[in-house]
């Protein structure tokens, strides 16, 4: 688990990229965003937020983070049913998706999910504070992945992270989301009766998911309490769902 502007939808054109990624337009979600000064103040105020501090100044083209408030429930996609005590991956993309399920103290579970396929895995209880991670990728080596992270117990949480699938230039994340599986048609991580984190197609939705290391030291994070018995569902390319 992770510990710890623009007032209208905007388009950012990514440049200095290979031809296959050039002219990709990224939508920035319509939420209030922090100023450079507010971001710097949040990072400075934290004594332990070393990863967040190392990202400043943000790489050119990377949006400033959403204002430091909790995630709001959006209504972009229908919220699906979940299987109790399971994390269910549903692939609505037109391509296969590779995954690895990493559980502290256990062997990793790997697989490949075909277009239109579904796979459930057990939600597990663990004493490790970091918790399990379910990684999904367009590539078999999973070098760039969209991650579902959760922890169990009385303070169990779940969240969606896109940090690992972003491009990196000179050691800093940039705004290239082309490797983020399912991002181009929307993402949703949901729990019945809980929070459904929703990212519209091709949208920088940092109010719904992690895009910055340590969330740039903000006090509020895109997390929600986990009721393991209700299950979780992760949907890729959810905008393609019929």
65-87, pLDDT tens digit by residue?
Answer: 999 888 999 999 999 999 999 99
pLDDT per position as a tens digit, 5-63: 222 223 333 333 433 343 558 999 999 999 999 999 988 888 888 888 899 999 999 99
- Percent of the residues in the chain that have a pLDDT greater than 90, as a whole number: 75
CA neighbor of 30 nearest in space, from 206, 240, 165: 206
Give the architecture (CATH level 2) of 10-240: Sandwich (2.60)
Per-residue pLDDT at 158: 96
Q: What is the DSSP string of 147-175?
A: EEEE--STT-EEEEE-GGGS-EETTEE-S
**Integer distance in angstroms from the first to the last C-alpha of the chain?**
32
List the chain domain ranges: 10-240
């Amino acid at each position: 688990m992770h510990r710890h502007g623009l007032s209208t939808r905007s388009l950012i054109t990514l440049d200095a990229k290979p031809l296959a990624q050039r002219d990709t337009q990224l939508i920035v979600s319509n939420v209030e965003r922090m100023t450079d000064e507010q971001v710097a103040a949040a990072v400075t105020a934290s004594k332990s937020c070393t990863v967040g501090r190392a990202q400043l100044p943000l790489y050119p083209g990377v949006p400033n983070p959403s204002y430091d408030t909790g995630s709001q429930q959006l209504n972009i996609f229908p919220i699906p049913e979940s299987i109790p005590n399971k994390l269910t991956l549903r692939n609505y993309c037109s391509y296969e998706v590779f995954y690895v399920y990493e559980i502290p103290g256990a062997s990793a579970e790997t697989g490949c999910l075909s277009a239109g396929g579904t796979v459930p895995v057990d939600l597990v209880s663990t004493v490790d504070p970091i918790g399990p991670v379910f990684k999904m990728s367009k590539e078999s080596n999973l070098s760039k992945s969209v991650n579902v992270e959760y922890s169990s117990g009385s303070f169990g949480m779940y969240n969606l992270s896109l940090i690992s699938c972003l491009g990196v230039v000179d050691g800093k994340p940039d705004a290239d989301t082309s490797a983020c599986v399912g991002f181009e048609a929307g993402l949703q991580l949901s729990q019945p009766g809980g929070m459904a984190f929703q990212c519209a197609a091709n949208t920088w939705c940092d109010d719904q998911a992690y895009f910055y290391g340590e969330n740039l030291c903000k006090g509020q994070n895109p997390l929600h309490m986990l009721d393991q018995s209700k299950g979780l569902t992760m949907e890729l390319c959810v905008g393609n769902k019929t």
